Amino acid sequence: MALPSLVTGWYPPSRENWEFIAHAWQFFPLVTAVQWLTDWYPAGKTSVESKYNLPGKWAWAVMESVGPITVMYCMLTIPSKVGVDTLPWGNWTMAFLYVVHYIYRAPIFAYVSPSMSPIHPLVFASACLWNLINGLSIGGWVGGYGPNTREAWAGRLYQMEIGLVIWGWSFLANFFHDDDLREIRRSTLRRQKEQAKKEGKPIEGIDKFYMVPKNGLFQYVLFAHYLCEFFEWAGFWMVGGLDCLPARTFLINEMATMIPRAVAGKRWYIEKFGKEKIGKRKAIFPGLL
């Protein structure tokens, strides 16, 4: 049963509006260019003290849930608008990959993180808007404005299989490197609890505790989890086909957003721990950047 439209013509988008969104979304890297000019980013390692800050865990879970909710909403509303009774398996495969990633990225990530720095409302609102537009772009495509018949997916099996393998291994690598960062705080919290028990003192806390990660690809780059996510969405793009504009735009926009953040993050690591501690590690691409 199709769900009702929440905002006529836009949520879910009409075909005309979806085409506008998908086309305009390609130019988002022009917006992210400002990140090369400043290190100011009031979240995570570089969060700032503000009375307007939002609790990190729930703000993260909410803003990262906007995308998958939007994609699934499009999947349940657009087919009836284009006269499709059942979307082909290729569409559901792409939706599955997207939603699985964000189930981990939103509620699970927030739940398993020992602590998360507060998030400024500006970052929260920007992330919600980013995920909304990206969700409409991808949701419109998989919801029926892209391929909507089995014939449209014909001949793509091997390309999809390769894309699924890339996506799967990259997803696991992303989780591994995320968990390596979490383990830094988990192990620190365990030591603090043991010390507090022995000395009868309160636990210091790990809200703003950082160390230089060393395992896996962290031996070569400081933001290995970003790099793994790039490969993950490259696999997603391959599943949809090289002509899948929303998947390609998603990958490019994510890279345009996260690369300057990683470069700024490396400067933060050097300032906090010193050049000797960082060594020859690059920010995000081994041996390059």
Backbone angles phi, psi at 10, to 5 degrees: -125, -30
State mean pLDDT over 84-108: 95
State mean pLDDT over 53-67: 94
State mean pLDDT over 8-22: 95
Question: Which is nearest to 151 in space by CA: 104, 90, 74, 67?
Answer: 90
* Helix intervals (H) in 145-223: 157-199
Question: Which is nearest to 84 in space by CA: 124, 142, 13?
Answer: 142
Cα separations (Å) of 78 from 8, 61, 109, 151, 186?
12, 26, 30, 19, 44
| pLDDT, greater one: 43 or 17 | 17
d(CA 65, CA 242): 26
| pLDDT, greater one: 196 or 237 | 237
Tell me the HSE value of 13 on the side-chain side, using a 13 A CA sphere: 24
Angle at 269 between CA 263 and CA 272, to 5 degrees: 145
DSSP 8-state class, residue 145:
I
Could you tell me if 68 and 62 are in contact, meaning their C-beta atoms sit under 8 angstroms apart? no
Query: What is the band of 198 on the pLDDT scale with cuts at 50, 70, 90?
Result: confident
Percent of the chain with pLDDT over 70: 95
Q: How many CB atoms lie within 10 A of CB 234?
A: 17
Query: What is the band of 137 on the pLDDT scale with cuts at 50, 70, 90?
Result: very high
3-state secondary structure of 147: coil
pLDDT score for 170: 98
Average pLDDT over the chain reads 91
Question: Which is nearest to 127 in space by CA: 152, 157, 106, 150?
Answer: 106
| pLDDT, greater one: 70 or 36 | 70
pLDDT score for 158: 93
3-state secondary structure of 7: strand
Instruction: Judge residue 243's burial from the number of C-beta atoms within 10 Å of its C-beta, 0-12 exposed, 13-18 middle, 19 or more buried.
Output: exposed
Could you tell me if 82 and 2 are in contact, meaning their C-beta atoms sit under 8 angstroms apart? no
State mean pLDDT over 46-54: 80
Find the helix packing angle between 89-103 and 224-240, rounded to 10°. Answer: 170
d(CA 75, CA 84): 11
Question: Which is nearest to 270 in space by CA: 39, 50, 68?
Answer: 39
Question: Which is nearest to 71 in space by CA: 123, 127, 145, 122?
Answer: 145
pLDDT score for 223: 96
Residues 241-282: pLDDT tens digits? 999 999 999 999 999 999 999 999 999 999 999 999 999 999
Residues 148-192: pLDDT tens digits? 999 999 988 999 999 999 999 999 999 999 999 999 888 877 777
pLDDT score for 178: 95
Backbone angles phi, psi at 201, to 5 degrees: -110, 160
Instruction: Judge residue 274's burial from the number of C-beta atoms within 10 Å of its C-beta, 0-12 exposed, 13-18 middle, 19 or more buried.
Output: exposed
d(CA 141, CA 70): 12
- The answer to whether residue 142 scores a pLDDT higher than 80 is yes
Residues 201-233: pLDDT tens digits? 766 666 667 789 999 999 999 999 999 999 999
Residues 102-127: pLDDT tens digits? 999 999 999 998 888 888 899 999 99
